[in-house]
Amino acid sequence: MALIYLSLGSNVEAQRNIEAAMDALADTFGELIISSVYESEAVGFDGDSFYNLVVGIHSDLGVGELSKILKTIEDRQGRDRSAPKFGARSLDIDILTVDDRVGVIDGIAIPRDEILKNAFVLQPLAEIAPTTVHPQNGLTYQQLWQDFDKAKQNLFPIEFIWRGKNITRVT
């Protein structure tokens, strides 16, 4: 089974939509590897802050099949696919990595380039997979986070209760 990391984000009814996404992922894939939840300012547009986290799952599904399931989860939470690329999102789930695979798989670039560009992806990934090596540059996610220009994007860990447990570990 492949270890797959996903980024989740929402800035529309974020608590409800992230909870629903995590429920759907757990119901579909079983036990989740879950980062803390971070609040971040909108990137690329003026808008409400986002809740972001990274979740690890195990699956034998192909990337295309997995993408269809993730789009269905997004759609159930009211994802408007006609909205501008940089705008409010009820739910956004992106495939970040699939084991150490590299390339365009079923039309999806793996690893996702946002890992190296956005604090709201890299910090939670470094939190749950600190010693895992980025499949293209050979650096661990912890090393990449240490070297990241943290002044570019502000992140704030927030208390987030899912299934009766506060999943945010960072204080």
Tell me the per-residue pLDDT of 32-56, one tens digit each, with 9 for 90 and over: 999 999 998 766 656 678 899 999 9
> Distance between CA 57 and CA 44 in Å, rounded?
28
Instruction: Write the DSSP symbol of residue 87.
Output: S
Answer whether residue 29 shows pLDDT above 90.
Answer: yes
The rounded mean pLDDT for the chain is 90
Spatial separation of the C-alpha atoms in residues 79 and 77, rounded to whole Å: 6
Mean pLDDT of 112-139: 96
Average pLDDT over residues 8-24: 94
pLDDT at residue 83 greater than cutoff 80 = no
> pTM of the entire structure?
0.93
The more confident residue out of 40 and 30 is 30
Does the structure show a pLDDT above 70 at 93?
Answer: yes
Q: How far apart are CA 31 and CA 40, in angstroms?
A: 26
d(C-alpha 141, C-alpha 129), whole Å: 7
Mean pLDDT for the stretch of residues 75-95: 73
Rg (CA), the chain: 15
Say yes or no to pLDDT of 171 above 80.
no
pLDDT of res. 89: 72
The percent of residues above 70 in pLDDT, for the chain, comes to 89
**The pLDDT of residue 88 is above 80:** no
Amino acid symbol at 76: R
Distance between CA atoms of 50 and 10, rounded to whole angstroms? 5
| Domain boundaries of the chain, sorted by first residue | 2-166
- If DSSP codes are grouped into helix, strand and coil, which group holds residue 4? strand
Res 15: pLDDT: 93
Work out the angle at residue 104's Cα, subtended by the Cα atoms of residues 99 and 21, and round it to the nearest 5 degrees: 60
Comparing 2-16, 33-47, 72-86, 138-152, which segment has the lowest mean pLDDT?
72-86
Burial class (CB in 10 A: 0-12, 13-18, 19+), 119: buried
Whether domain 2-166 has CATH 3.30.70.560: the reply is yes
